[in-house]
Chains A and B, each alone.
Chain A
Amino acid sequence: MSDALFRNEPVSSTPYVADGVSISLAAPLKRYSLRARTADALETVLNAKVPQKIGATEGGIACLGPDEWLLRTPADTAMPTGAGLPVAITDISERSICLVLEGPRAAELLMTGCPLDLDNFAVGRATRTIYETVEIIIIREGEDRFHVEVWRSFAAWLWTAFTAAASH
């Protein structure tokens, strides 16, 4: 990319640290929406293991729906286009940003506005869900660490909501 143009992110690059939880902006990621009728169809195209079960993650690929996967990868890996094949590979790297919630109160913070029972949301699981009125994708990276993917235009609101809730 050009040296001339800088990236402009919707939230602060300085982490917000509260009692028991921190909120920070993850480094830029490459993201692809992967669509196919079956995981097998994608495995052939990607030459990688693709999780079969909704909610499962494997090697940076999360299964979000019966025909939908999200690939997140830090490296600028070359991706096949899938041209001519019954699959759809779409670059959505910039559609969302990722907020990292980390600390013993991470799940508690997320549950202030997310109606899922995170006590029963295992490490390694991913799902699309909602925080109050804003759609998010959560990925439980560890017992005390969540990745929250949110569309860019909603990110400032979510940041404010998270920091307000974390300060209480």
Chain B
Amino acid sequence: MILIHCPYCDEKRPEIEFANAGQAHVARPLDPSSQSDEEWEAYLFIRANPRGRHHERWRHVHGCGRFFNAVRDTVTDKFETTYKAGEPRR
């Protein structure tokens, strides 16, 4: 069970307090109706599957309740950093 640093609580907490919430920085288009089918398909379904650095979202669901962003290495399962939702991509 890994430890994950919650950027809101500002401490490392056990993994079972958290839930993964998929890839980070996939913003909902401001005006979905203006999206072409291809653009909308990309937003809905197309996700990265990198070997190595991966930007993903986690929620401290059994803690402060906040969604936040993380950079995790998919090979080593080590978190490089975590940061608050809305902050620029790291």
Contact = CB atoms under 8 A, between A and B. Distances in A.
Q: Say if A and B assemble together.
A: yes
Contacts of A129: 13, 17, 62-63
A130 B17 contact: yes
B62 A64 contact: no
A130 B62 CA distance: 6
A68 B64 CA distance: 8
B16 interface: yes
A55 B64 CA distance: 9
Given A115-B14, A115-B16, A128 B8 contact: no
Interface string B1-31: 1000000111001101100000000000000
Please report whether the interface of chain A is mostly helix, strand, loop or mixed according to DSSP: strand
Contacts of A65: 8, 63-66
A54 B65 contact: no
Contacts of B64: 54, 64-66, 68, 128
A9 interface: no
A64 B65 contact: yes
A68 B8 CA distance: 12
A135 B66 CA distance: 15
B5 to A, nearest CB: 13
A54 B84 CA distance: 15
A129 B13 CA distance: 9
A114 to B, nearest CB: 9
Interface in A95-120: 115-116
Given A115-B1, A115-B14, A130-B17, A54 B62 contact: no
A127 interface: yes
Given A115-B1, A135-B62, A66 B14 contact: no
Given A54-B9, A68-B65, A115-B17, 13 more contacts: A54-B8, A54-B10, A65-B63, A66-B8, A66-B64, A66-B66, A68-B64, A115-B1, A127-B63, A128-B64, A129-B17, A130-B16, A130-B17
